[in-house]
Amino acid sequence: MRRSIYFLSALLAVVMLVQMSCSNDFLNTTPQDRISSDATWADGALSQAFIFNVYASLGYGGFEEQALAAISDEAMFTHAGRNINTFTEGLEDPGALAWMSPTYEWGSMYSAIRKANIAIENLPTSTFSDDVLRDRLLGEAYFLRAYYYHQLMRNYGGVPLISRAYGLGEDYTVSRASFQETIEFIVNDLDQATALLAGKGDTPGRATDIASMALKARVLLYAASDLHDSGKAGAVGAGGELWAYQGGSQEARYSAAQAAAKAVLDATSGYKLDLNSPVSAEEGTQNYLSISMGGESAMGDAAAASELIFERTHTAEFTEEDAWPLGGINYGINNGPNGYHNWAGNTPIQQLVDDYEMMDGSKFDWDNPEHAAAPYTNRDPRFYATVLYDGADWKPRPSDVAGIEPADQIQTGYYDDGNGGLINGVDTRESAIENWNGSRTHYYTRKFIDPDPGKPDDFSAAQTVPWPFIRYTEMVLSYAEASQALGQEDEARSWINKIRYRAGLPATTASGDELRDLIRNERRVELVYEEHRFYDGRRWMLGDELGRGIQAINVVATLKPGATPHVPYLYDEDVYDYEYQVFENTENETRVWNNKMYYRPISRDEINRNPALEQNPGY
């Protein structure tokens, strides 16, 4: 039937041509709803527009309603029925894929790679006159192709390496390259991008030579990690060439990663990483707030934008936008408290909260009576810029809520009403305000939400904060990690302490495995919600830690003897005694770990289309 339709369409076209053959004007007509390939590569502006379309596959970065944090040990997604538990409960298989963002999904990435390949094929022979622009666009195309392949690599391992744009009717049967070949391909693209982009400008949201160097450093650190060393990865059934190096030394791979990270550190600078002692706790929180805002909020320091090496900007030029107000993304609505008419999407879990150190650099411990009695006191200052907890100060309430809670404090607990009953906090699931949107962990996300009280978290205020694809501190953490792995502990401590000083924490004197674990924890809390933990936990082979379930907390406030309750309720340690009860939350998912979860499965449809593909272990 389809061939018949095509035949009739072709016949009709021929008839029309015959009928109008006497009109040269008809034959010379150019379609008004599309641009020809020749025209695209003959015009600098059109070529640039094509490259902007390649950027579009970056989407919103991590500013999606469902975050990668929610399928790692950072967060729980509040709303059921989103196909997240298919992954976290180990139920995913090639015929039943779990939720997956298009920013790393197999088909989406190869679609993006095809667009990059078209540009890489055509730009060298383009006929517009601006050689500087041509080099810049070609460098961006190489960078973006490398970025999309790196997304495939860290989700699937070695993948088919397609370096040209296939046409209709070609044989698409391509086997997967080895993990080593995939890394080498990505690094080669990034080296070419670095050379082409050198001196070509640093417009926010566009690739630069520094961004190419930084992505190379990330890719090489992944290559050096345990999951990709055949001797170590074999323990989880992923030691074959599609997932791990079969030769060479892990030490040499760490040396390459260290050198690549140091090249970035030497080429540029970050935000407040030149300190010789810790800042105050208040300044530590403010520093981290400024970083998470990307220098965009009036409540932070604009100089923090220096952290951003590659970002997703708030503009329609480089990425597609949806119908949110002002053409932007309202991260606050997606994740903020229901007592502000927000949706409580990706809420922090207790395991994350517990991994923030005390101000003196010691570990938080529920078995310590002082810690257990006041778990939100004297913590790592970054905690206060990342998590909203019971009693935390926040923005002015919406007008219909202010009469219930005029103090602008988060209420995720249950409070003695003085008559033998309990008041449900305004931000609990039992609240009188949108009880279907409350957090199930009794925490909310603060990071990436503008704290400016003049920007309420409602439909009138779109998000303008940039998404940090790559930032300078990631390079510091990568350099410290590689240095520690190579036994260069003084060097590792020197750089990790720069981050700690900026946060207001004391220098570490740890060594050996303790130093390794501290660097990993620094990476966990510094880069939280930035789509690193999901991959870091895997490359470090911490499966049991990633699958340890979801812990949440209940906060119960009882009146002190003889005290009179606040009406409306107000957090007050002089009036109430607070009890904190950690519990396992299995309302939406009961998390497990299966070693197959180190990689995502290739869908059955993809394998049916390309039978040369080998499936990932365990599927």
What is the per-residue pLDDT across 68-117, written as a single tens digit (0 to 9) for each? 999 999 999 999 999 999 999 999 999 999 999 999 999 999 999 999 99
Q: 279 or 33, which is more confident? A: 279
**Closest to 345 in 3D by CA, of 415, 423, 449, 430:** 449
Output the six-digit token pair for 175.
Answer: 């086997």
**In the structure, what pLDDT confidence band is assigned to residue 34 with cuts at 50, 70 and 90?**
low
At a CB cut-off of 8 Å and minimum separation 6, what does 493 contact? 480, 507, 508, 509, 510, 515
Distance CA 337, CA 183 (A): 42
For the residues 589-597, what does the mean pLDDT come to? 97
DSSP codes of every residue in 557-617: EEEPTT----SS----TTTEEEEEEEEE--SS------GGGGSPPPPHHHHHH-TTPPPPT
**In the structure, what pLDDT confidence band is assigned to residue 446 with cuts at 50, 70 and 90?**
very high
Per-residue pLDDT at 323 exceeds 70? no
DSSP codes of every residue in 381-450: HHHHTTEE-TT-B-PPPPHHHHTT-TT-B---SEEE-SSS-EEEPTTSTTSSS-TTS--SSS-EE-TTS-
Distance CA 432, CA 609 (A): 52
Please state the pTM of the whole predicted model.
0.92
- The pLDDT assigned to 313 comes to 78
CATH number for the domain formed by residue range(s) 206-313+468-541: 1.25.40.900
Please provide the average confidence, as pLDDT, over all residues in the chain. 91
For the residues 375-402, what does the mean pLDDT come to? 97
Distance CA 568, CA 423 (A): 10
**Closest to 271 in 3D by CA, of 298, 247, 243, 292:** 292
For the residues 436-441, what does the mean pLDDT come to? 96
Residue-wise pLDDT for 260-303, tens only, equals 999 999 999 999 999 999 999 999 999 999 999 999 999 999 99
Distance CA 530, CA 294 (A): 13
- The pLDDT assigned to 566 comes to 96
- The pLDDT assigned to 167 comes to 86
**In the structure, what pLDDT confidence band is assigned to residue 421 with cuts at 50, 70 and 90?**
very high
The answer to whether 423 and 569 have CB atoms below 8 angstroms apart is yes
- What architecture is domain 38-58+103-201? Alpha Horseshoe (1.25)
In the numeric block, the tokens 């650190």 are attached to 221
- The pLDDT assigned to 489 comes to 98
Per-residue pLDDT at 338 exceeds 60? yes
Output the six-digit token pair for 95.
Answer: 């015929």
Distance CA 531, CA 596 (A): 20
Percent of the chain with pLDDT over 90: 85
Residue-wise pLDDT for 530-573, tens only, equals 999 999 999 999 999 999 999 999 999 999 999 999 999 999 99
**In the structure, what pLDDT confidence band is assigned to residue 461 with cuts at 50, 70 and 90?**
low
- The pLDDT assigned to 366 comes to 98
Per-residue pLDDT at 158 exceeds 70? yes
For the residues 466-489, what does the mean pLDDT come to? 98
Per-residue pLDDT at 18 exceeds 50? no
- The pLDDT assigned to 457 comes to 64
Per-residue pLDDT at 405 exceeds 80? yes
| Domains 38-58+103-201 and 206-313+468-541 fall in the same CATH topology | yes
**In the structure, what pLDDT confidence band is assigned to residue 22 with cuts at 50, 70 and 90?**
very low
Per-residue pLDDT at 425 exceeds 60? yes
**In the structure, what pLDDT confidence band is assigned to residue 439 with cuts at 50, 70 and 90?**
very high
Output the six-digit token pair for 539.
Answer: 């490359």
In the numeric block, the tokens 């903020």 are attached to 336
Which range is least confidently modeled, 2-11, 183-192, 486-495, 596-605? 2-11
**Closest to 207 in 3D by CA, of 268, 143, 120:** 143
Percent of the chain with pLDDT over 70: 90
The domain locations on the chain are 38-58+103-201, 206-313+468-541, 331-465+551-584
- The pLDDT assigned to 327 comes to 41
- The pLDDT assigned to 458 comes to 58
